[in-house]
Structure 1
Amino acid sequence: MGEPGFSDALARISEHSPFLGLVLGREGDIAADPAAAIADPITVSAAPTRDMVEPRALRIQRRRLALIAAIGDLSGAYDFGRTTRLLSDFADEALDRAIRAAIRGRTPDAEPQGFAAIALGKQGSRELNYSSDIDPILIFDPATLPCKPREAPEEAAVRIARRVLEILQARDGDGYVLRVDLRLRPSPEVTPIALPVEAAISYYESQALPWERAAFIRARVAGGDGALGESFLDAIRPFVWRRALDYGTIREIQEISRRIRDHYQQGQRFGPGYDLKRGRGGIREVEFFAQIHQLIHGGRDPALRVPATRDALAALAAAGRIDAGEAAALDKAYVLLRTIEHRLQMIDDRQTHTLPSDPAALDHVARLHGLEEGAALIALLQPHVERVGRIYDALAEAGGSGLPSDPDTLGARLAEAGFPDAEIARRVVEGWRGATYPALRSPAAQSALEAVLPTLMSGFGGAPDPQHAITRFDAMLKRLPSAVNIFRLLEAQPALTRLLSAILSHAPTLAEQLGRRAELLDGLIDASAFAPVGDVPELMAAMAAEERGADYQWRLEHVRRIVNEKRFALGAQIVAGASDPLDVSAGYARVAEAAIEVLTAATVEEFASQHGHVPGSELVILALGRMGGGALTHASDLDLIYLFTGDYAAESDGRRPLGAVTYYNRLAQRVTAALSVPTAAGPLYEVDTRLRPSGTQGPLSVSLEGFATYQEKDAWTWEHMALTRARPVFGSAEARAQVQAIIIHVLHGARPERDILADAAKMRADMAAHKPPAGPLDAKLLDGGLVDLEFAVHVQQLCHRTGFDPQLGKAIDALVGQGIVPPALRPAHDFLTRLLVTLRLVAPDAQPPGERTRALIARALGLPDWEAVVATLGATRQEVRDCWAAIQAGN
């Protein structure tokens, strides 16, 4: 190196750097003897500050050091490494002094211990920019941190940290010391700015994300309690340097590469406006090329665990891990790119990395560097940028199959995939990648997410309603404790992603279930999920499987799990267009009946272990309403009446005996709880017992004798209407036959003489007044809907004492066969039932859904399009209205 060109450097500073020109005017001693300044920069920069208070002393020293570093750099007296080390060493000193000042300012007599700053980024590798943020993590030891009396260590640590930030960042006429960015700490949106050391260690051992591994390659203690900082770094070293690389780790490393490769594409194109840091072939690509190879090989080779980029390139080449020629080219490019980055930052003391687009501004940068004009600067940089880009391309290709991270590129890719509002979809994906939900915090979850994202976005983008699909999937992830398994399942089963997309697009009811229990998707892997569910004995066998010897709670959970899987699969059949909603409705009822059988039997057994049995007596469960008719929807309640056979005055024979009435009422409460109380396996059914004798005023369970007496003497018309769909669903064959005999006897005339038609008409009018339709598609409550159809059928059944069958469709057929109701009532029943069952899944609010869901509804109803659905609904309602009106008119 020749004689330093101080005069030329000072001239360029005065002409092309407004910031340094001002400093030069204030620090005449440095301008008068630059050789002395660059020979001992720390001493010279600090000379005027000896008697100043700490914050002001640091600000003035930083200002003077900035000028000395610039003169040394521009004159050729300092090479690139000397410049960055000088800036980094001052940052360390300033950070350490700020910590000590903050502690002593609060506790003057205490030793400044128990608080440390871990430098990351370029401060950590001693490669700090000319005008750069520092990115420390602040940790403290609650056991040794000096605190004020009655002050918690956590509160003291945060106050110390705030004072450190104030000392370093506050600006006045003397400038500032350092800009500080604390966002590299774990979960910065929720964690305090200073972290307890044990909590920080725990985080990095168990939850840290892939990019945090790369960040800690350059970590070192930069200020405060050195012993505390070193013990922290020793504890987390295995997190950074892993001896064994599994598939997931390699994918993490590829993901780091891919994200950086397509980030900040605005500055990718080389020329004026090029981003020296983030552009293709820029500083970041050199740094990540080195760091990725360090992560891959550094676990087994400690010689590669060096923080500085240039040192890492040299170590990797020496170990034969990268090509020596490529290492030399990257090193040369890195020095030039960083040097020009310094020139940009010297002009106005701004943390900028982008070449000016304005030709005059670009000329200033070039001339500050000693070139004639901006074009010469572009020509100087171009071959190096292109070489770095080519070298990095090979590394970036390893992660090229994923979705891009650059916002614009990602948005364009999502638009291509089919999202009508790609901006919303982009923000959702970026939220996932930001690991804002607990289910996405772990490295394994992030790795699994990136692996499945292309398939997932392709599936959602091709869904009938991409926006609904992605937003509902987002809501589902928000509630999940873990997402790894579901991501791996979807990655392994691309066809399942398409079905999931359809479910999330169309079926909020199923989407909500998935949000609570993502494992419900597992049940859709097998093609048998789209076959009709088995008969009740077959379902009971599945629910009772492996229960021998299991405790009561396990048996309940087992049944709940199977029921929810079956119900979810039945709903998915409608969404997928695999089954007629009438068949699905019957399937829902068979699942419920099997659950009643198994859960009640288990509850009876558990109850009897304490209270024994009532001799000559047993529980019988009578189902009414849609359950009695064997035609449930996804959201149907179970209308049940609990009965018992035998002598109501008898007593149980257990070690804690109960009278029969008390026994069966308590048992009925237990059965209701077993059927309805939500648990970890999910909720089952709402149980409605208001149809029992005397309603909510009567006992929960009544004897067969009491039931018969009530129905024959006291029951109202609406109770007899409900009885037309009554069906025993639990009890021995003999007990069921006894109940059925009572029902037949009552329905065929053993009941009070009442004006059935007048009672029914008044009841329907009251219902219309107090429970209006939920929306224009309420197939149940609209006039001419299912309720009117049921009223018409039940009135005719009771008046004519014929056509009794719990299944409404069969009852209608019987009445049609006798000429009592018009033939149009059966297709009306089928259409309205299909509509109700489908809408409970896809439009539970009974409002018209989006265009794409309308096509699903039409398909489920066997109609060509939505217009046909609307027309058929109108015509069907008119048929039902006409029938009900004719009955009321006595025709």
Structure 2
Amino acid sequence: MLPESLSALWQRTQTQLTEDGARHGLDWPVLWQSLNAGQQQDLQKVLTISRYVADALPREAEWFKSAISSDLFNKPLTRPTIAVWLDELAEQVKSEDDWLRALRFLRRRAMVHIIWRDVLRLSSTLETTRALSHLADECVVRTQAWFYQQLAERFGTPMGKSSGEAQDLLVLGMGKLGAYELNLSSDIDLIFVYPESGETSGPKVITNQEFFVKLGQKMIQALDKHTMDGFVFRTDMRLRPYGQSGPLVMNFASVEEYYQDQGRDWERYAMVKARVMNGEQSAAAKELLSILRPFTYRAYVDYSAFESLRSMKAMINAEVRRRGLESNVKLGSGGIREVEFIVQAFQLIRGGQDKSLQNRELVKVLDILAGDGYLPEAACLELKAAYFFLRDTEHAIQGLNDEQTQLLPADAEEQARIAWSMGFADWAAFMEQLDKHRERVRFHFAQIVAGDDDEQQTQEIEPVWADLWAGELDGGHMREFIAAHPCAGSAEVQVLLSQFRESRAVLKMQQIGRERLDALMPRLLSELWAQPQPLAVLERIVPLLEAVVRRTAYLVLLKENPQALTQLIRLCGASSWVAAYITQTPLLLDELLNPASLYKLPQRAELAEELNLRLLRVDEDDLEQQMEQLRQFVRAHKLRAAACEVMEALPLMKISDYLTWLAEVTLEKVLQLAWTQSVEKYGYPTNARGEAVTEPELIIVGYGKVGGLEMSYSSDLDLVFLHNSFAMGSTNGDRSQDNGVFYTRLGQRMIHILTTQTRSGDLYEVDMRLRPSGNSGMIVASMKAFEEYQQKHAWTWEHQALVRARILCGSDAAGEVFQSIRNQTLSKARDLGGLREEVRAMRQKMVDNLGSKDTSGQQFHLKQDAGGIVDIEFLVQYGVLAWSHLHPELLSVTDNMRLLDAFAATGLMNPQDCQTLQETYLSYRAETHRRALQQQDLLLDSDSLTRLGFDARRNDVTRLWKLWLEPAAR
């Protein structure tokens, strides 16, 4: 229903249509009378709200009359429809002027269609923006093709100098165009690029650069030039390398050099939405995007994006204030730009790690941020609702007169038109809702991007800490400070800071990087001197700083996130291993951002789910990135385990369980990846009936620490791979292999994934020496070969190792076979005298080769010397081999703690002795963990033995060793 406030406007509009129609052949009264009541109501609303449509209607009177009468505008406008319209308009094109006219007629038809549907709310916000983007794509791509043909007839085809192949111009659509998010009166931001230099094929030979410059100039003129028929799209080329002063067109090599050497932060922001408009599936387009992607998305978590976006927002705010643009729904506070900045902050920070964020479309990224927990779902829903409302408002403003503006009008009549278009009774009701949405955007922007005022942060830190960092800690006014912090004035601190300041890494920093370092260091030093041993912690942190100064985003992360800096200093103070570990992989700094999750370890199922989600974000064919993600996952969770241990948040057993789960979950995924890749290459193995076996008939068996649920931070994996496939079968692929060969190559691929060095190091060290026949045996043994080896050829020490062997992952059916072989092997009745002799002999060999060699009793190797960890392990292994034929329950567990419980439960060991060994074993292992986290060896001196109470514990272990394993014991 037409609002009373717009009745006069409707009368003027009809008068204007009658007058314009008379000049262009439109009989307005006849057209109006030919429509039914519903069509009249729709047409009245569209014409009253949009002066652009009212002006356009008479210019193609017959076409628009037919479109309205047939309800054409009730159907969505698609790219194929736009193409058909252009085909019809281009049928009679013979000259450049004809082409320009066809484009402008196309735009008029399409814009009326789009505005019609938008005003009547027949299309969603995203349908409107996509239709506008499709219009731009069709105009740009077809214009490029048209002028390319014209120029090629004169100059020939551009040819690559190196490749000898024909060259084409790639058009990058930037900003909203790249993301299919154009607004009603948007300009289009373009960048022109071509693959390689060379010359055209003639008749008139020019360089490829000249050819494509001419092509680009023709395209811009065709799209941007105002003629009697209007224009197509205002075309902006300022986002190209070097901006307005740069060449209009550049080849790939020049583009790569520019973005590597000179690309600026705001250009990364722009590149988030970059799209090759004329086809992204071509080899040239993929090459171009591969050049741009590393510039846009850093391989590490990049917190410098916050600083860059904040700086950009500050400049925009200054422009808003200068030009009085507070009522601008795009640039003003709480406007569209702030929603875009929130989303793109996460894309720039984490897009290099999480490829799902490398999506150009804002609404889809908001869904990802909510789904993956980057932002609360409620916040994302509010931002999405606000974005849609703001974009609809923007379209309502621009639909009035086809003007490129986002300013809310001051004119009462225009306000009434916008309110009606947006579905509100009046302007006040509309503004109330708009203000609510803008307030929500302002709130979330302040929470995520705006941050605290930097100047206020700096004022909180005493200037003296900046003087300490700068090496200017002298003069009488410093005495009070040094009296309060005597260590700060020491020669050791001065030398350490001076060496860091003058280090090659710092001296080679660019200005912005040095500014970031200078902003961080006073805060770091101030917090560091609140620790008990600031010099020791500083000595640990300086190597980390040296490792990250070339990636100054990490400096920003610590400056932007005080809690991360606090956690870093606490952890480095507690453990030199943690400091070194983070130094090796600075990406782990990201783990310090959320102390709540840092000190709360997930369950095994949660670990598996997280790893699955990580790898779902990686291209399934990108093995290098899959390996990198696996390494980052393992390193992050090892750090969390270490944090829990050094801060005494969890006991040793929980830590070991967690590190063991981590290894198991990782191996499951490695097996899955290797299986998928191997099957793709060789096909599936087949069974005795020739049928494809679509799941691996293989198990990974863990020995040693992983088998005994006792993993530590640097534990390697003692593994054995066993398959149970049909021996005479082969794979069904084009590159068919015997089943045994297939599984051998599967094993090799798993080892490759586990041990290859990437930029994040290896995944785990793998020891395969416990497989049948050791290093000379097959990488993957058949279950039959494993059984024969264990029953006929294995040494006693190999049966000892089998005590701690358990299935980590793989086929359930194969696992049952293994378990049967293990039980049969371990439960054989043995001659106890011979068994004791062999176990003692192997133990003595280890003491001789690996022990402390100390005969004075002043040193004790915690693991290898008599009375140490290995004595307890050998004692338990002996007990299983000696008595499991009488007590099968000894075969059901593989860890020493529960095996000792089983000895007590079966009467094989005195309960008090059991408790003594368990307490000793745990205290020994806790000390090995503590020393590992302090990067200390396991050789204890007499003072440490006494302080830790290990003298008595050592004697207890030796006593029980003799009781069980000396000849007279039983």
Counterpart of 1:261 in structure 2 is: none
Specify whether residues 608 and 545 from structure 1 end up closer, same or farther in structure 2 by C-alpha distance, changes over 3 A only: same
Specify whether residues 753 and 731 from structure 1 end up closer, same or farther in structure 2 by C-alpha distance, changes over 3 A only: farther
Counterpart of 2:835 in structure 1 is: 756
Residue 486 (structure 1) shift: 2.6
Specify whether residues 434 and 542 from structure 1 end up closer, same or farther in structure 2 by C-alpha distance, changes over 3 A only: same
- The answer to whether the 8 Å contact 1:761/1:888 transfers is yes
Counterpart of 2:449 in structure 1 is: none
For each residue in 1:649-704, what CA deviation from the matched residue of structure 2 results, as whole angstroms up to 9, or x when unmatched? 32222221112222222211111121122212332211000001111121111101
Specify whether residues 577 and 563 from structure 1 end up closer, same or farther in structure 2 by C-alpha distance, changes over 3 A only: same
Residue 502 (structure 1) shift: 3.7
Distance (whole Å) between structure 2 residues aligned to residue 740 and residue 397 of structure 1: 64
- The answer to whether the 8 Å contact 1:711/1:751 transfers is no
For each residue in 1:497-537, what CA deviation from the matched residue of structure 2 results, as whole angstroms up to 9, or x when unmatched? 34323433343322222222212021122234344533333
Amino acid at match of 2:466: L
* Correspondences of 1:638-649 after superposition (within 5 Å): 638-649=717-728
Counterpart of 1:793 in structure 2 is: 876
Alignment equivalent of 2:846, drawn from 767, 775, 783: 767
Counterpart of 1:883 in structure 2 is: 960
* Correspondences of 1:280-319 after superposition (within 5 Å): none
Distance (whole Å) between structure 2 residues aligned to residue 398 and residue 874 of structure 1: 50
3-state SS of paired residue (1:545): helix
| Range that drifts further, 566-575 or 457-466 | 457-466
Counterpart of 2:766 in structure 1 is: 687
Amino acid at match of 1:465: Q
3-state SS of paired residue (2:709): coil
Alignment equivalent of 1:815, drawn from 889, 903, 909: 903
* Correspondences of 1:799-838 after superposition (within 5 Å): 799-801=882-884, 802=887, 803-804=890-891, 805-821=893-909, 822-823=913-914, 824-838=916-930
Distance (whole Å) between structure 1 residues aligned to residue 459 and residue 655 of structure 2: 50
Distance (whole Å) between structure 2 residues aligned to residue 204 and residue 701 of structure 1: 49
Residue 773 (structure 1) shift: 4.2
3-state SS of paired residue (2:487): coil
Specify whether residues 869 and 753 from structure 1 end up closer, same or farther in structure 2 by C-alpha distance, changes over 3 A only: closer
3-state SS of paired residue (1:636): coil
Alignment equivalent of 2:555, drawn from 487, 495, 498: 487
- The answer to whether the 8 Å contact 2:686/2:739 transfers is no
- The answer to whether the 8 Å contact 1:557/1:681 transfers is yes
Distance (whole Å) between structure 2 residues aligned to residue 204 and residue 647 of structure 1: 58
Alignment equivalent of 2:732, drawn from 653, 656, 676: 653
Distance (whole Å) between structure 2 residues aligned to residue 769 and residue 439 of structure 1: 51
| Range that drifts further, 628-637 or 501-510 | 501-510
3-state SS of paired residue (2:504): coil
Is 2:583 the counterpart of 1:515? yes
Distance (whole Å) between structure 1 residues aligned to residue 802 and residue 495 of structure 2: 55
Distance (whole Å) between structure 2 residues aligned to residue 573 and residue 626 of structure 1: 20
| Range that drifts further, 834-843 or 766-775 | 766-775
* Correspondences of 1:422-821 after superposition (within 5 Å): 422-434=490-502, 436-437=504-505, 441-480=509-548, 482-548=550-616, 549-551=619-621, 552-616=623-687, 618-749=697-828, 755-773=834-852, 776=859, 778-801=861-884, 802=887, 803-804=890-891, 805-821=893-909
- The answer to whether the 8 Å contact 2:699/2:721 transfers is yes
Distance (whole Å) between structure 2 residues aligned to residue 581 and residue 790 of structure 1: 18
Which consecutive unaligned segments of at least 5 residues does structure 1 have? Answer: 1-200, 208-243, 252-394, 855-865
3-state SS of paired residue (1:419): helix
Distance (whole Å) between structure 2 residues aligned to residue 203 and residue 714 of structure 1: 61
Specify whether residues 564 and 202 from structure 1 end up closer, same or farther in structure 2 by C-alpha distance, changes over 3 A only: closer
Residue 406 (structure 1) shift: 4.7
TM-score, length-scaled by structure 1? 0.51
- The answer to whether the 8 Å contact 2:630/2:763 transfers is no
Residue 743 (structure 1) shift: 1.0
Distance (whole Å) between structure 2 residues aligned to residue 836 and residue 554 of structure 1: 34
Residue 848 (structure 1) shift: 6.4
3-state SS of paired residue (1:639): strand
3-state SS of paired residue (1:657): coil
- The answer to whether the 8 Å contact 1:619/1:645 transfers is yes
For each residue in 1:759-800, what CA deviation from the matched residue of structure 2 results, as whole angstroms up to 9, or x when unmatched? 110001111111124995743223211111000111011111
Distance (whole Å) between structure 2 residues aligned to residue 751 and residue 641 of structure 1: 25
Distance (whole Å) between structure 2 residues aligned to residue 206 and residue 399 of structure 1: 36
Distance (whole Å) between structure 2 residues aligned to residue 700 and residue 619 of structure 1: 12
- The answer to whether the 8 Å contact 1:421/1:467 transfers is no
Distance (whole Å) between structure 2 residues aligned to residue 714 and residue 537 of structure 1: 39
Amino acid at match of 1:718: W
- The answer to whether the 8 Å contact 1:439/1:445 transfers is no
Specify whether residues 396 and 763 from structure 1 end up closer, same or farther in structure 2 by C-alpha distance, changes over 3 A only: closer
- The answer to whether the 8 Å contact 1:774/1:845 transfers is no
- The answer to whether the 8 Å contact 2:513/2:549 transfers is no
Distance (whole Å) between structure 2 residues aligned to residue 497 and residue 771 of structure 1: 41
* Correspondences of 1:73-92 after superposition (within 5 Å): none
* Correspondences of 1:31-50 after superposition (within 5 Å): none
Residue 203 (structure 1) shift: 13
Counterpart of 1:212 in structure 2 is: none
Distance (whole Å) between structure 2 residues aligned to residue 751 and residue 568 of structure 1: 45
Alignment equivalent of 1:403, drawn from 456, 463, 466: 466
Distance (whole Å) between structure 2 residues aligned to residue 515 and residue 691 of structure 1: 34
- The answer to whether the 8 Å contact 1:540/1:594 transfers is yes
For each residue in 1:593-631, what CA deviation from the matched residue of structure 2 results, as whole angstroms up to 9, or x when unmatched? 110001121011111110122224622110011100111
Runs of 4+ in 1 over 6 A off after TM superposition: 201-207, 244-249, 395-399, 750-754, 866-869
Distance (whole Å) between structure 2 residues aligned to residue 205 and residue 754 of structure 1: 77
Amino acid at match of 2:535: Q
3-state SS of paired residue (1:768): helix
Residue 489 (structure 1) shift: 2.4
Alignment equivalent of 1:873, drawn from 926, 929, 950: 950
Distance (whole Å) between structure 2 residues aligned to residue 441 and residue 774 of structure 1: 50
Residue 578 (structure 1) shift: 1.7
| Range that drifts further, 565-574 or 633-642 | 565-574
Distance (whole Å) between structure 1 residues aligned to residue 959 and residue 927 of structure 2: 20
For each residue in 1:101-130, what CA deviation from the matched residue of structure 2 results, as whole angstroms up to 9, or x when unmatched? xxxxxxxxxxxxxxxxxxxxxxxxxxxxxx
Counterpart of 2:935 in structure 1 is: 843
Distance (whole Å) between structure 2 residues aligned to residue 887 and residue 248 of structure 1: 73
Specify whether residues 530 and 809 from structure 1 end up closer, same or farther in structure 2 by C-alpha distance, changes over 3 A only: farther
Amino acid at match of 1:599: V
- The answer to whether the 8 Å contact 2:500/2:506 transfers is no
Distance (whole Å) between structure 1 residues aligned to residue 847 and residue 883 of structure 2: 26
Specify whether residues 654 and 574 from structure 1 end up closer, same or farther in structure 2 by C-alpha distance, changes over 3 A only: same
- The answer to whether the 8 Å contact 2:614/2:629 transfers is no
Specify whether residues 682 and 655 from structure 1 end up closer, same or farther in structure 2 by C-alpha distance, changes over 3 A only: same
Residue 819 (structure 1) shift: 3.1
- The answer to whether the 8 Å contact 2:600/2:644 transfers is no
TM-score, length-scaled by structure 2? 0.47
Amino acid at match of 1:403: A
3-state SS of paired residue (1:547): helix
Specify whether residues 540 and 418 from structure 1 end up closer, same or farther in structure 2 by C-alpha distance, changes over 3 A only: farther
3-state SS of paired residue (1:844): coil
Q: Which protein shows a greater Rg?
A: 1
Distance (whole Å) between structure 2 residues aligned to residue 783 and residue 632 of structure 1: 23
Amino acid at match of 2:840: A
Q: How many residues align?
A: 497
Distance (whole Å) between structure 1 residues aligned to residue 574 and residue 763 of structure 2: 22
